[in-house]
Amino acid sequence: MINNIHDKLVLQGADSMDDKELVTMLLGSGSDQTETERIVEALFAECGNLGSLRRLNLSRLRMIGGMGVRRAEKIVAALELGRRVALLDSAEKRVITSNEDVVAMMRPMLQDLLHEECWAIYLTSTNGVLEQMRISQGGVQATVVDTRCVVKRALELLAPKIILVHNHPSGMAKPSAQDVALTTKIQQAAQLFDIELIDHVIVSSEGSYSFRSAGQLK
């Protein structure tokens, strides 16, 4: 029988634990376990999920549930370690086979931003990654993309394929009318040079959206 989260970690592994149990383990669940559990409950009541937790800075975090600086530092450090591991994993992915590969590659860079950024991934004919390039950076709800810049770089790299990727700081991955218009504009411009826009992927804290998977790119 599993009596506490320490036993659960040892016997079943970390992947068997829910978010609250992992944070409780991180903050310490020894003699002050009741206090730690109270802080964790306050933390998730405030944030709702780990996605929102990532956006809190140290000053705000330390005030939640009276956790203090030391506990808040542990959370900030753990989240940063997770982000760096995800970046390493994404850097190793040099061939794109699906929109899930695009999300895995770009999510660590985009999902926590409070502003929109749009990136282009330039590919070989066999979907190998030639380059990832940020093509615009904007505000909370929109960013302006220079179509000429996107196509010009593809020509410089002799890249026959492009994938667009951008984030939605709102958390909603559904494309806006501007996103649809941008996709059409880039696709038409690229086609003039026999370059294929193979997907436009939106990344958010609550999910992702692929224009190709949704049937909006053919």
Please tell me what DSSP assigns to residue 16: G
Confidence bin at 51 (pLDDT 50/70/90):
confident
User: Residue for token digits 């760096």?
Assistant: 84
Report the amino acid identity of residue 206: E
What pLDDT, on a 0 to 100 scale, did the predictor assign at position 21?
Answer: 87
For the packed helices 33-47 and 19-27, what is the interaxial angle rounded to 10 degrees? 130
For the chain, give me the number of helices (H) and strands (E)? 9, 5
Separation between Cα atoms, residue 110 and residue 147, nearest integer Å: 21
The CATH number for 94-210, chosen from 3.40.30.10, 2.60.15.10, 3.40.140.10, 3.40.50.10950, is 3.40.140.10
* Residue 205 pLDDT: 83
Task: State the Cα–Cα distance between residues 163 and 99, nearest whole angstrom.
Answer: 10
Between 43-47, 92-96, 145-149, the lowest mean confidence (pLDDT) is in 92-96
Mean pLDDT of 38-57: 83
104: number of CA atoms within 13 Å, CB side?
15
pTM: 0.63
* Whether the predicted pLDDT of 114 surpasses 90: no
Amino acid 60: pLDDT: 87
Predicted confidence (pLDDT) per residue in 65-74, tens digit = 888 898 889 8
What is residue 43's three-state secondary structure? helix
Q: Is 70 or 5 the better-scoring residue by pLDDT?
A: 70
| DSSP summary character for residue 128 | B
Which has the higher per-residue pLDDT, 110 or 141?
110
- Rounded-to-integer distance, Cα 50 and Cα 128, Å: 32
Give the CA distances from residue 64 to residues 18, 27, 214, in Å, rounded to whole numbers and listed in that order. 20, 13, 40
Q: What is the pLDDT of residues 73-107, one digit of tens each?
A: 988 888 888 777 766 665 555 789 999 999 988 98
Task: Give me the residue spans of the domains in the chain.
Answer: 5-88, 94-210
Are residues 84 and 123 in contact, defined by beta-carbon separation less than 8 angstroms?
Answer: no
User: Is residue 177 over pLDDT 60?
Assistant: yes
Q: What is the pLDDT of residue 188?
A: 95
Strands (E) across the chain are located at: 117-123, 129-137, 161-167, 196-204, 207-210
Task: Give Cβ neighbours of residue 128 (< 8 Å, ≥ 6 apart).
Answer: 94, 95
Residue 181 has pLDDT above 80, yes or no: yes
Q: How far apart are the first and last CA of the chain?
A: 54
Between 183 and 2, the more confident residue is 183
What 8-state DSSP symbol labels residue 159?
-
Q: What token pair was written down for 86? A: 């995800």
